[in-house]
Amino acid sequence: MSNQPVNGNQYDENQIQVLEGLEAVRKRPGMYIGSTGPAGLHHLVYEIVDNAIDEAMAGFCDKILVDILEGNVIRVVDNGRGIPVGIHPKEGISAATVAYTILHAGGKFGGGGYKVSGGLHGVGASVVNALSEWLELTVENGEHVYFQHFDRGHYDEELKIIGDTKKTGTTVVFKPDAEIFEDPVFNYDTLLERLREQAFLNAGIRIVLTDYRDPDNPVQDDMCYEGGVKSFVKHLLEKAAKNPIHPEPIYLYKEENGCTAEVALQYSDSYHEVIKSFANDIHTIDGGTHEMGFKSALTRVFNDYGRRRKLLKDNEENLSGDDVREGIIAIVSVKLPECEFEGQTKGKLGNTEARPLVENLVFDGLNTFFEENPAVAKLIFEKAVGAQRAREAARRARDLTRRKSAMDSGGLPGKLADCTSKDNTITEIYIVEGDSAGGSAKEGRDRAFQAILPLWGKMLNVEKARLDKVYSNEKLMPVVMALGCGIGEDLDVSKLRYGKVIIMADADVDGSHIRTLLLTFFFRYMRPLVEQGHIYFAQPPLFRVAKGKKFYYAFNEKERDQYIAELSEGGGKVDVQRYKGLGEMDPHQLWETTMDPSNRTIVQVGLEDAARADQTFTILMGDKVEPRREFIEKNARYVRNLDI
Ligand code: 1YM
């Protein structure tokens, strides 16, 4: 693979820089796409699609096709103007080639007309090219069809005309490099979720995702939402099977100094809040200035309204942020000429101008809405007052619990088998469903640093209860007391008694249920524990494969079959035991396979797993039957794989 010299026969300075640039990307892909795991892999697709979306936002394109082809090849097609094919004055090669070979060239080329797109690190097409085994670019400009082939970012031939056409548009086909990515297999639902989000955030654009990997059974979603973020809110409500308390989402929009802010919100009868914020179509999972502006305006509007209407008496406290957000589903989307993303995962918007932009929009817009829609305003306001009362009830329940526990067991639950160490950088607590597994765990553990809490009793349906009910739940309170860091608005992570909170449950449907319940509880009432990576799942083995004295533990069917094959060599009887539950393992086996830090695998729970559990939980435990049935039908086949 060599690059064609451009000016005469020698590589010029630019050309060398290009090669160095692509090499840099291949050497440290994580710097450009975050990781070489599934997130980084899927990010390649978003980078290319982002360019097509920018073209659509500029008003030149209304349809984007994203195809997953056999062999995990991706094809993205748009009907825009086509990437410019003319010779780039500085580089001496086609502008399209520049966009695909020069680092950071994508957005900047074209003299300011081209909006900076907000990919995770804003890296663009050349990074995708560098990380693809091969990539093919086709551009139609209404006259000719242009084509260029790349191998790992390098090309032997320039962009060339291969035919004539009346159409315009860009097609990019690429195969992610198996030398770079751990497992270059695309997940349809991952792509679908993100592309659907893009379709909501860019009203009117049609995005069609098709999976052709199973030739007999292509899967397709065709997405176009004229209602934009308003449709997004409706979609989230439906997906989570929540009951809205007013018929239509409230929609607010504002444009100022080349920035736009858009907000859609609706209240449901649930007790939880969902706020999704975006900056230049990037999900800001940790919020930031736009979200702060939204929250502060919301609280102000409610309290002003309450005082003005004398619904809050002079001697009554203001509604808190949590009160006014109870049951809300909101989308906050800003588009700025340049976004600054902060924080470790770059999930937080830093631009200071975004805060007043959103704050003013929501303050003025929602005030007006409240004045013009008194009936809806009254409903929403009363819900917030209900939340305020429940918060006060929770405070009383908490004080009562504190007094009670101070009197009996020094604040620790009776069934807790505590560890000796108090140093939470090394301590762990196993939360175990069932007394028999709890017994094995107590015997098998290393009591120096491992505590065991068996769970018993009736679980609370977190969906249908507010915090005050948690304080009287016999299953959850021992967890809260053992962790020692409080709950809800009292949560103080620095008081957490164990650095690792490990949920250990059977590898079956009941086990999956208890995992989901606990995860949902942590997500809703102790979210910082999830955010800061304190929550884990234990991974007990499913099989023991043995011949004579030699044995292996297998954690899935593939491993089991490998061990069977290995032990079968040379003849003799191979014995396979399937563990139906943790209780079937003796204490030593449980220690060896699931609890010994030098040997076990534990899975750290991320915020996305928890958010998904939350949604799943609403569907499974909420009061709508139809979404529950749909969910069960769709997921029945996954139960064995334990996707939660
Ligand atoms: C399947 C991916 O990349 N579409 C696309 C990209 C560009 C344009 C149109 C485009 C931009 C401009 C003018 C401009 C890009 N052009 C460049 C660069 N689809 C996809 N569609 N004309 C066409 O911004 O002024 C980068 S992306 F840099 F070459 F102009």
**Mean pLDDT calculated for residue range 383-404:** 86
168, 204, 493, 637 from 77: Cα distances, Å: 11, 17, 48, 33
Whole-angstrom Cα distance, residue 121 to residue 109?
17
Q: What's the confidence (pLDDT) of residue 15? A: 66
Over range 595-606, report the average pLDDT: 89
Q: How confident is the model at residue 628 (pLDDT cuts 50, 70, 90)?
A: low
Q: Could you tell me if the CB of 110 is within 6 A of ligand 1?
A: yes
Q: Compute, in degrees rounded to 10, the torsion defined by CA atoms 187, 191, 192, 196.
A: 170
**What is the average pLDDT score of the chain?**
87
Say how far apart CA 452 and CA 416 lie, in whole Å: 6
Distance of CA 7 to the CA centre of its chain: 47
What was the pLDDT predicted at 620? Answer: 64
- Pull the structure tokens for residue 568: 């079968």
The answer, yes or no, to whether residue 565 has pLDDT greater than 90, is yes
Task: State if residue 135 touches ligand 1 by the CB under 6 angstroms criterion.
Answer: no
State the pLDDT at residue 143. Answer: 97
Q: Whose CA is nearest to atom 3 of ligand 1?
A: 51
Average pLDDT over every residue of 3-32: 70
CA-nearest residue for atom 4, ligand 1, is: 52
Region 484-491: mean pLDDT is: 88
Taking 60 as the threshold, does the pLDDT of residue 205 lie above it? yes
Residues 6+ apart with CB under 8 A from 309: none
Asked whether the predicted pLDDT for residue 407 surpasses 80, the reply is no
| Active-site residue flag, 626 | no
Which token pair is 538?
Answer: 């234990």
Give 264 Cα–ligand 1 centroid separation in angstroms. 30
pLDDT computed for residue 460 by the predictor: 79
pLDDT of residue 353: 96
Please state the rounded mean pLDDT for residues 169-181.
Answer: 97
Q: Is the CB of 139 under 6 A from ligand 1?
A: no
| Cα–ligand 1 centroid distance for 21 (angstroms) | 21
The backbone region for 310, taken as left when phi is positive above 0, alpha when psi lies in -120 to 50, beta otherwise, is left
Q: Residue range 583-608: average pLDDT?
A: 88
Assess whether the C-beta atom of 113 lies below 6 angstroms from ligand 1.
Answer: yes
pLDDT in tens, 496-508: 999 999 999 887 7
Residue 16 has pLDDT above 80, yes or no: no
Share of the chain above pLDDT 90, in %: 64
Mean pLDDT (whole number) for 465-488: 88
The yes-or-no answer on residue 216 being catalytic is no
510 is catalytic: yes
- Find the mean pLDDT for residues 337-358: 92
Atom of ligand 1 nearest to the CA of 105: 28
Dihedral in degrees, nearest 10, Cα atoms 356, 194, 184, 611? 80
Top-confidence residue, 106 or 476 = 476
Does 319 contact ligand 1 (Cβ within 6 A)? Answer: no
Q: Tell me which of 91, 359, 506, 609 is the catalytic residue.
A: 506
Instruction: For ligand 1, atom 14, name the residue with the nearest CA.
Output: 114
Between CA 84 and CA 80 the distance in angstroms is 11
Going from the C-alpha of 200 to that of each of 55, 196, 518, the distances in angstroms are 16, 6, 32
Strand partners, 250: 265
* pTM of the entire predicted model: 0.76
The question of whether 20 is a catalytic residue gets the answer no
pLDDT score for 117: 41
pLDDT for res 484: 92
189 against 241, higher pLDDT:
189
What is the three-class DSSP state of 545? strand
Residue with tokens 């005050």: 468
Query: Residue 572: its pLDDT value, please?
Result: 86
- And the tokens for 177? 């490099």
Pair of tokens at residue 515: 């995992």
